[in-house]
């Protein structure tokens, strides 16, 4: 093996680690994104060609791709204890008195840190490399989620050669969280797809870390803040504050909001300062952690059975207000979901003035027994989304009447439907309901879809209201209306030129983003990418049946039914043809992967469960590369059911009833030709039936 190749891999790895640190820690980009992507692609290619040289903490691991069948568990070397919590400043003063008494009046300082609302994580570094990431679990044992942790962009996989010397092995405790802007985007996407909204960023981060496909974790854009350093024996640092400074120097992200305080009065000043100021941060916070700074003094103070005596957590109470419910507005979203919104008398809450609050659906209105004119209690769920939490029944007028949920669409008058198993009422008039049509246009031009420069949501909504556009395809007719557009208020020739150029550029947007932009219900960004990669053209996708679509990894039955139904509508097919005439990409460019053999020709497979040696996506690819077909349903015509762990019992039972052979991953791989061999085609005889075992589960505990 050429030493030049190994040297190039090492150089690229070090350069990309440095660039990641500059971008995610210092908010500085040394090279354009395109140049960074080119370096990363080169490293990925070299690692694929020379896998023995690929490092476990290569920058290529940031994008994920590892599928974990189950999360193993590991015991914490140092138990992750919970902190004592308080909402009272009096309790903080009593804590200070206990600390000073325990230290017999010796000089001491505290360190105050913001308590970020996320998931506690223990990271082990060995010889400057990230070796393991373990969740808090029950405090003594947690789940090993190292592959998922590696996707967190601001977390160094390899430490920087700076700062004080460090031990060969040490542990970093910290918080994994979802930034508020990312949380907002995720909920917007879920709302557009008709899915239930996530309650807060902490739940979103916890759920992301449970995902078995690390590529999906990478897409959630999680971040990390370190707050503790641990090593075998006595710490090389005298104080907690010195360890925080060292962690930062080594390249670990440490929030710069912490402060040393010499007295309890200074601690309370810090608490008061961040009571409102914290709402300006891009991360959710729910309190302040106060720790004795000196490690020797921490040892003297010791621990109770559950928590340290040298630290305490002050939690800000959820800020609530009481105000009057004036009206309920019913909003119609892109998928037709009708969402009730409470219109309130303005009330100050968590740093903002709240005039509107979510009511989610008809069930919540009924559960709260809301009535117009009620005095209601409002909080910010996770201190982000205002919500009505209760009613002051003592202040309710005797003649108040219950709210009657509308039976017709508030925008177009179409009778509402409520599909079985869903919480929302929906307007089925997706092609005639104005807010649905406008929302579909706004979605089409959004950043994750066509991202048309000069044509944002506000502008396209305005054009819709003026009758200049009616659907996505009509956007590409706007250049012919340039003179008319230039006469509009706040437009002008330069704005029109930019819009026309943006439309032209959007014709190069890849097929998967165009597919996402079509706004098919349940087809989010990831699903659109998978469908585009699988079918490659919109013609092939439109011709697929629901069972065939369900066989595509990460699609499933509900999404498949929705996509198949969308392509059966003549109006949607007409939209596709008009988009084709407009010049947008409706197929992936480049050649599709060429089949390697016809060994599985004429055979159909259903894949179910989690597999040991390959991801489901990889197994599907192998089957197709050797002439086989994938389907999502079990019938008498099915050749094989390939069973992995966690396969549902219903599929096994149906396959057994229909005498469909059930095989495991090993049996499937044995059907494929070995290198240089051309074995006979397989037969449907005597397949083995693998056993199932439940995977580990991820649990979240208190922070420390």
DSSP 218-239: HHTT-EEEEEEEE-SSS-SSSB
Residue 588 covered by a domain: no
Residue 68 covered by a domain: no
Range of the domain at 32: 3-63
b/e string for 281-320 if b means 16 or more Cβ within 10 A?
Answer: eebbbbbbbbbbbbbebbeebeeeeebbbbbbbbebeebe
Q: Which two tokens stand for residue 635?
A: 């019938």
577 and 618 both lie in a single domain? no
CATH number at residue 500: 1.10.150.20
Residue 226 covered by a domain: yes
132 and 255 both lie in a single domain? yes
471 and 383 both lie in a single domain? no
| Number of CB atoms found within 10 A of residue 192's CB | 20
Residue 224 covered by a domain: yes
Q: Which two tokens stand for residue 347?
A: 């009330």
Q: Could you tell me the end-to-end alpha-carbon distance of the chain, in angstroms, rounded to an integer?
A: 47
Location of structure tokens 């002050």: 314
Give the active site residues.
115
**Strand 375-381 relative to strand 425-426: parallel, antiparallel, unpaired?**
unpaired
394 among the known binding-site residues? Answer: no
Residue 401 covered by a domain: yes
CA distances from residue 306 to 79, 123, 293 in whole angstroms, order as listed: 10, 22, 20
- Residue 350: the pLDDT is 63
191 and 252 both lie in a single domain? yes
| pLDDT tens digits for range 551-597 | 887 687 889 999 999 999 999 999 999 999 999 999 998 666 667 78
pTM for the model stands at 0.56
- Residue 680: the pLDDT is 39
Q: Which two tokens stand for residue 256?
A: 């710069």
CATH number at residue 419: 2.40.50.140
Residue 587 covered by a domain: no
261 among the known binding-site residues? Answer: no
In the chain, the number of structural domains is: 6
CATH number at residue 131: 3.30.470.30
112 among the known binding-site residues? Answer: no
Residues of the chain predicted below pLDDT 50: 678-704
55 and 179 both lie in a single domain? no
412 and 460 both lie in a single domain? no
121 and 215 both lie in a single domain? yes
15 and 56 both lie in a single domain? yes
692 among the known binding-site residues? Answer: no
Tallying the residues shown for the chain, one arrives at: 704
- Residue 558: the pLDDT is 87
Residue 113 covered by a domain: yes
425 and 365 both lie in a single domain? yes
- DSSP labels, 149-210: HTT-TTS-SB--S-SS---SEEEEEEEEE--HHHHHHHHHHHHHTTPPPPS-HHHHHHHHHT
β-pair partners for 417: 426
Last-in-domain residue among 582, 613, 645:
582
Residue 461 covered by a domain: yes
- Residue 696: the pLDDT is 30
Last-in-domain residue among 464, 480, 506:
506
574 and 640 both lie in a single domain? no
91 among the known binding-site residues? Answer: no
293 among the known binding-site residues? Answer: no
CATH number at residue 647: 3.40.50.10190
621 and 662 both lie in a single domain? yes
- Residue 652: the pLDDT is 86
473 among the known binding-site residues? Answer: no
- Residue 1: the pLDDT is 53
346 and 434 both lie in a single domain? yes
């Amino acid at each position: 093996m050429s030493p030049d190749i190994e040297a190039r891999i090492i150089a690229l790895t070090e350069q990309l680690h440095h660039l990641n640190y500059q971008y995610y820690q210092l908010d500085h980009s040394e090279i354009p994104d395109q140049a960074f992507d080119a370096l990363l692609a080169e490293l990925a290619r070299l690692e694929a060609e020379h896998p023995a040289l690929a490092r476990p903490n290569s920058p290529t691991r940031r994008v994920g791709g590892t599928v974990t069948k189950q999360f193993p568990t590991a015991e914490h070397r140092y138990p992750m204890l919970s902190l004592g919590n308080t909402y009272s400043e009096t309790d903080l003063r009593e804590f200070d008195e206990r600390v000073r008494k325990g230290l017999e009046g010796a000089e001491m300082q505290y360190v105050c840190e913001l308590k970020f609302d996320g998931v506690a994580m223990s990271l082990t570094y060995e010889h400057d490399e990230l070796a393991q990431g373990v969740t808090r679990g029950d405090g003594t044992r947690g789940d090993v989620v190292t592959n998922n942790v590696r996707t967190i962009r601001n977390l160094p996989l390899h430490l920087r050669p700076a700062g004080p010397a460090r031990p060969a092995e040490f542990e970093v405790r910290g918080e994994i969280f979802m930034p508020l802007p990312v949380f907002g985007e995720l909920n917007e996407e879920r709302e557009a797809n008709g899915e239930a909204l996530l309650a807060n960023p902490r739940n979103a981060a916890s759920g992301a870390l449970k995902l078995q496909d690390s590529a999906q974790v990478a897409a959630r854009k999680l971040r990390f803040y370190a707050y503790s350093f641990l090593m075998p024996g006595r710490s090389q640092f005298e104080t907690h504050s010195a360890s925080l400074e060292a962690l930062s120097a080594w390249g670990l992200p440490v929030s710069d909001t912490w402060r040393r305080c010499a007295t309890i009065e200074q601690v309370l000043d810090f608490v008061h300062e961040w009571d409102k100021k914290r709402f300006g941060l891009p991360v959710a916070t729910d309190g302040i952690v106060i720790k004795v700074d000196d490690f020797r003094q921490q040892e003297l103070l010791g621990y109770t059975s559950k928590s340290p005596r040298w630290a305490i957590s002050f939690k800000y109470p959820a800020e609530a207000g009481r105000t009057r419910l004036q009206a309920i507005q019913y909003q119609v979203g892109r998928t037709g979901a009708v969402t009730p919104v409470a219109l309130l008398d303005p009330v100050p809450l968590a740093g903002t003035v709240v005039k509107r609050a979510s009511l989610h659906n008809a069930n919540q209105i009924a559960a709260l027994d809301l009535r117009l004119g009620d005095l209601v209690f409002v909080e910010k769920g996770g201190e982000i989304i205002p919500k009505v939490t209760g009613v002051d029944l003592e202040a309710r007028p005797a003649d108040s009447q219950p709210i009657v949920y509308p039976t017709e669409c508030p925008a177009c008058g179409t009778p509402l439907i409520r599909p079985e198993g869903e919480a929302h009422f929906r307007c089925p008039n997706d092609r005639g309901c104005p807010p649905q049509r406008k929302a579909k246009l706004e979605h089409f031009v959004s950043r994750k879809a066509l991202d048309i420069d000069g044509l944002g949501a506000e502008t396209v909504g305005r054009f819709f209201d003026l009758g200049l556009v009616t659907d996505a395809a009509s956007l590409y007719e706007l250049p012919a209306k340039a003179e008319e557009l230039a006469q509009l208020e706040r437009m002008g020739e330069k704005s029109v030129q930019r819009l026309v150029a943006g439309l032209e550029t959007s014709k190069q947007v890849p097929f998967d983003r165009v597919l996402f932009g079509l706004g098919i219900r349940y087809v989010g960004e990831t699903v659109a990418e998978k469908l585009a990669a699988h079918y490659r053209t919109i013609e092939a996708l439109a011709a697929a049946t629901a069972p065939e679509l369900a066989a595509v990894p990460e699609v499933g039955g509900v999404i498949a039914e929705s996509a198949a139904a969308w392509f059966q509508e003549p109006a949607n097919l007409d939209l596709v043809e008009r988009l084709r005439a407009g010049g947008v990409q409706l197929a992936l460019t480049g050649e599709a992967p060429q089949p390697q053999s016809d060994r599985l020709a004429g055979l159909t497979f259903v894949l179910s469960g989690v597999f040991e040696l390959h991801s489901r996506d990889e197994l599907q690819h192998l089957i197709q590369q050797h002439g086989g077909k994938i389907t999502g349903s079990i019938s008498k015509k099915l050749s094989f059911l390939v069973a992995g762990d966690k396969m549902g019992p219903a599929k096994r039972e149906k396959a057994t009833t229909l005498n469909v052979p059930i095989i495991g991953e090993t049996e499937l791989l044995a059907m494929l030709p070995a290198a240089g061999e051309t074995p006979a085609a397989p037969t449907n005889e005597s397949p083995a039936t693998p056993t199932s075992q439940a995977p580990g589960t991820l649990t979240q505990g208190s922070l420390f």
